[in-house]
Amino acid sequence: LATDNPILLADEPTGELDFRTGVQILQVLEEQARDGMTVLVVTHNREISRIADRVIELSSGHIVRDGPPSDGKAEIADLQW
């Protein structure tokens, strides 16, 4: 990971990974966020959006939703995909 940067952009960080490795990646990203870094994750996996503080959903290039996760914030341990 790049160090001493205020923002981390992660494009499909769990794509093509097995579940266990995906969880490990999400834990690293969560740790970076806890340490004060802004972490922006782009994903097609809606399950991952459950751990976000803010979800911006796009459809055909337009924002269709912007806010907290629909079902409330979850922990990484609660995710299944």
CA dist., res. 45 & res. 12, Å (int):
9
Do 59 and 26 form a contact (C-beta atoms < 8 A)?
no
* 1 — pLDDT class (breaks 50, 70, 90): low
User: How much of the chain is helix, strand and coil, in % rounded to 5?
Assistant: 30, 25, 45
3-state secondary structure of 25: helix
DSSP three-state, residue 81: coil
C-alpha angle 32-10-12 in degrees, rounded to nearest 5: 130
pLDDT the model gives residue 72: 86
Q: What is the pLDDT of residues 48-58, one digit of tens each?
A: 999 999 999 99
pLDDT over threshold 80, residue 3: no
Q: Domains of the chain by range and CATH?
A: 7-76 (3.40.50.300)
